[in-house]
Amino acid sequence: MTAAASRAAAWPVITLTTDFGPGSPYVAAIKAALLAGCPEATLVDISHAVSASDLESAGFVLWAGTRHFSPGSVHLAVVDPGVGTERRPVAVQLGHSFWVAPDNGLLSMLLRESPHEPEAVELRRPEAASPTFEGRDLFAPAAAALAAGQRLRALGQPLAGLVRLDQPSPRVLWVDGFGNLVTSLKPPVGGVKVGPVSVRRAGRTYGAVAPGELFFYTGSMGFVEIGVRNGRADLLLGAEPGPLVQPLP
């Protein structure tokens, strides 16, 4: 174990990403299960409003929100349009960190962007698990066990072939709180076409362009983003997560 992993182990972190909505007692029930299994954990909410109908966008928020946490951290993601239907509950190790989620493609972006080979197990279902609330009864206890130091292999049978969504066509992955469009394009590009609008002005920061002007830049996450100084690109372009974009030469 590295020194960083050892230090983190003393202060385990579990993050939560769900589509339950803010203020849901279901989230509280999951936290109760996490703290029952690992009372010393620090719990961090990533988002409880990711989209269940757009797993690519939900997976982006999960990737963006969890990738900076220290080795040893555990990331619970319950975004599960198919709860109760057939899909495997899994725990996945990438490097020294862990993700616990339904195997429905939600982890695709993490798997694509990680330099590590995933190690995965299919979670064993506790007998008493509610068929309608696996977040509390199946996923949370597994995440707590990992945070408390249990090994991945102790949670279930090894598993190859996680579900991966196809690499999407270039698109808007997420619109941030300021209205900037985060695209799935990586630099370098000569510009970005969003619907009928071609954005060809490049800028390094908001300060580099004129107020009201659309520009593209490489965001802090390494993707090409579209913004406008003193304004909202999403309102100017009518864009939300989903729309296809095109790189310009």
Binding site for a second copy (CB under 8 A): 7-8, 10-11, 13, 15, 19-26, 28-29, 31-33, 35-36, 39-40, 42-50, 52, 61, 64-70, 81-86, 130-133, 136-137, 174, 176-178, 204-208, 217, 219-220, 230
The distance of closest approach from Cβ of residue 242 to a second copy in the complex, given in angstroms and rounded to an integer, is 18
Query: Which CB sits closer to a second copy, 1 or 36?
Result: 36
Q: Which is nearer to a second copy, 45 or 153 (CB)?
A: 45
148: nearest Cα among 27, 3, 4, 13: 13
Q: Closest Cα partner for 105 from 79, 73, 84?
A: 79
| Spatial separation of the C-alpha atoms in residues 109 and 44, rounded to whole Å | 21
CB of 153 to a second copy, least distance (A): 26
How far is it, in rounded angstroms, from Cα 203 to Cα 180? 13
Cβ distance to a second copy smaller for residue 31 or 121 = 31
**Choice between 17 and 120, CB closer to a second copy:** 17
Region of 68 (left: φ > 0; alpha: ψ -120 to 50; beta: rest) is alpha
What is the C-alpha to C-alpha distance for residues 1 and 99, in angstroms, rounded to an integer? 19
How far apart are CB 99 and a second copy at their closest, in Å?
14
Distance in Å, CB of 24 to a second copy, minimum: 5
CA–CA distance, 225 with 135 (Å, rounded to integer): 33
Our CB check for a second copy shows the closer of 196 and 211 to be: 211
Least Å distance, CB 227 to a second copy, is 9
The alpha-helical segments, DSSP class H, found in the chain are 3-10, 25-37, 55-66, 108-113, 134, 140-147, 233-237
